[in-house]
Copies of this chain bind each other. A is one copy, B any other.
Amino acid sequence: MPESIWFRDDDRPRRPRLTRERIVTAAVALLDAEGVAGFSMRALAARLRAGTMSLYEYIRSKEDVFDLALDEVIGEIEPAEAGPWRELLVRQLTQSRQVMRRHPWVPALTATRPLLGPNAVARSRVFYSALADAGLSGATLVAAVGTLSSYVNGFVASENTWWDTVRTPEADAEIRGKVTRHLDDHVGELARHAQVDDGDFDAQFLLGLDLVLDGIATRLPPG
């Protein structure tokens, strides 16, 4: 009795080789490995041992895949739960940065497309409600949230491009020196302590974040 209920799996009456999930997972892996430039539908299909056009049963276009992959990795950010607004936001944003470092292609994509996926809006709500609880509302609330996410995005974007310029296959030290000298020549000693010098991005990140948070704090109602 092979078709007995005990041997069937009614959760998935159809069991296609491909699924949207499998595609998205593979897309994230491919983007991690090759970057946006190295990403192609053919390479994605190859990774899944499938024909290229099979993918199009599950997604409408390459753009779709980008949107899905983006929301997928945004899902890796676990929403912070409770705590004072400031610590909560620091935790949340630190995690965001970690995710974007793990998936360096994220800032490039977020710059082009609106983030409307379920995970994105869920994370966004964390910011809104944290700051609303703290006492913000209206346009100020929107400005605060926007500023915070702009900050993470911008910071990690420049962090990534810095590693990219330095991590080029050859000439690790040579290029590093070249760029540093280039900047030194033109910006002068003002940027002496720029990331360029030491790559201490962790400290810089928290420093800038504190700055923004201080700005937000001035907008909070007294108490």
The interface of chain A, by Cβ under 8 A from chain B, is: 107-108, 110-114, 116, 118, 121-122, 124-125, 128-129, 132, 138-144, 146-147, 149-151, 153-155, 157-158, 161-162, 165, 179, 182-183, 186-188, 190-191, 193-195, 203-204, 207-208, 211-216, 218-219
Select one of B107, B155, B183 contacting A121, CB under 8 A: B183
Instruction: Write out the residue numbers on chain B whose beta carbons fall within 8 Å of the beta carbon of A122.
Output: 186
How far is it, in angstroms, between the C-alpha of A116 and the C-alpha of B187 when the chains are bound? 11
Known contacts: A124-B187, A149-B154, A154-B151. The answer to whether A211 contacts B207 by CB under 8 A is no
Query: Could you list 4 further interchain pairs (A-B, Cβ under 8 angstroms) beyond the known A116-B183, A214-B215?
Result: A111-B153, A121-B182, A147-B212, A150-B155
Interface SS of A by simple majority: helix
Instruction: Write out the residue numbers on chain B whose beta carbons fall within 8 Å of the beta carbon of A187.
Output: 121, 124-125, 128
